């Protein structure tokens, strides 16, 4: 049944993707295809770069029946998102969860209540987005319909509101903050805009196309969190006690940690931009020492000198 659901919802899917989804071998996937064919449900294939596997588009799935574990996972994920006030699909998520709950058998409803009482999430949020529903709605419309948008945007570095025309590509939630990834016609490049700094928005009738070469993962690159910049290799020596929790954390996908006999560690990574890295290092106080690059070490030294002057 699970194979049918995936084939129905992802026509043209490749065997390697099915194997990844079900965490199994190619041989098992082909065996499932044979079983479906034997049961009178033909699985078709097409060749070429866009080829893959399909089932008859006229085949209708029987009504879905969720196990307790499947339903609980949906409710946990839904409640996780509902914690975000202003989440673009909040009301639809609430309705979807109610519909799913009505489909469940009595024993599964009890199972969900028990799971919800025993597992919780606390999403770090730096902003309450409850007052940004309209902005989210308009941005979502612009992204889905590929329409340009005119923004009145507060630029914090210049303490000034400017008017921007943008091609909205993507909404992104990182480190407790919502961002818009969009091509800015004023700057002539793709930029990152904080949603809470958008003061007004008007979606125009002007259409646009996202460049085929654009990729969010490539665009964000090796950024520490959000801020992008030149790729640089960093090396930071972290002393106890900070080293004990630093080695437990995954701060960056490229990070490597070398443990030293005295309990300290050498943290190394290749990052895009140093502004956010600098904040992380300063947050560890005397427990962190920058080894490379020299430019970052000098910036930290300058901050320490400024702090010393402040506390005289």
CA gap 91, 186 in Å, rounded: 35
Q: Quote the Cα angle for 67-70-71, to 5°.
A: 85
Residue 304 lies in a domain: yes
Residue 21 lies in a domain: yes
Residue 18 lies in a domain: yes
- Residue 13 gets which letter from DSSP? B
Overall domain count for the chain: 4
Residue 29 lies in a domain: yes
Token digits for 237?
């020596």
Residues 6+ apart with CB under 8 A from 126: 175, 176, 177
Q: Are residues 159 and 205 in the same domain?
A: yes
Q: What is the pLDDT of residue 61?
A: 60
Residue 41 lies in a domain: yes
| Domain containing residue 181: CATH number | 2.30.30
| Domain containing residue 15: CATH number | 1.10.10.10
Q: Are residues 134 and 214 in the same domain?
A: yes
Q: Quote the Cα angle for 163-218-22, to 5°.
A: 125
Instruction: Collect the ranges in the chain with pLDDT lower than 50.
Output: none
Integer distance in angstroms from the first to the last C-alpha of the chain?
71
Chain segment 103-118, per-residue pLDDT in tens: 788 888 888 889 888 9
Chain segment 71-98, per-residue pLDDT in tens: 899 998 888 888 776 677 777 888 888 8
Domain encompassing residue 72: 68-118
Considering the entire predicted model, what is its pTM? 0.73
Bridge partners, residue 258, by sequence? 266
- Residue 51 gets which letter from DSSP? -
Residue 125 lies in a domain: no
Domain C-terminal end among 220, 253, 272: 220
Q: What is the pLDDT of residue 230?
A: 92
Residue 225 lies in a domain: no
> How far is residue 209 CA from its own chain's centroid?
22
Q: Are residues 170 and 245 in the same domain?
A: no
């Amino acid at each position: 049944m699970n194979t049918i659901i995936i084939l129905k919802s992802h026509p043209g899917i490749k065997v390697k993707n099915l194997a990844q989804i079900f965490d199994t071998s190619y041989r098992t996937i082909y065996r499932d295809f044979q079983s479906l064919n034997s049961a009178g449900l033909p699985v078709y294939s097409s060749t070429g770069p866009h080829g893959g596997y399909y089932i008859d588009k006229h085949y209708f799935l029987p009504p879905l029946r969720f196990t307790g574990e499947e339903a609980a996972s949906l409710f946990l994920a839904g409640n996780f998102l509902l914690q975000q006030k202003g989440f673009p699909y909040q009301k639809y998520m609430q309705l979807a969860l109610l519909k799913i709950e009505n489909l469940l058998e009595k024993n599964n409803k009890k199972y969900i209540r028990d799971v919800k009482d025993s597992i919780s999430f606390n999403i770090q949020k730096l902003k309450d987005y409850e007052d940004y529903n309209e902005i989210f709605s308009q941005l979502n419309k612009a992204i889905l319909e590929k329409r340009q948008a005119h923004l009145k945007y507060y630029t914090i570095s210049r303490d000034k509101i400017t008017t921007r025309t943008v091609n909205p590509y993507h909404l992104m939630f990182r480190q407790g903050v919502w961002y818009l990834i969009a091509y800015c016609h004023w700057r002539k490049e793709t930029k990152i805009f904080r949603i809470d700094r958008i003061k007004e928005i008007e979606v125009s009738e002007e259409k646009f196309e996202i460049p085929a070469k654009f990729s969010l993962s490539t665009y964000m690159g090796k950024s520490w969190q959000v801020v992008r910049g030149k790729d640089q290799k960093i090396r930071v020596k972290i002393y106890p006690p900070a080293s004990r929790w630093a080695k437990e954390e995954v701060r960056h996908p490229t990070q490597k940690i070398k443990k030293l006999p005295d309990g300290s560690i050498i943290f190394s990574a290749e990052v895009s931009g140093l502004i956010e890295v600098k904040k992380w290092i300063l947050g560890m106080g005397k427990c962190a020492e920058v080894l490379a690059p020299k430019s970052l070490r000098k910036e930290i030294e300058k901050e320490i000198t400024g702090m010393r002057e402040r506390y005289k």
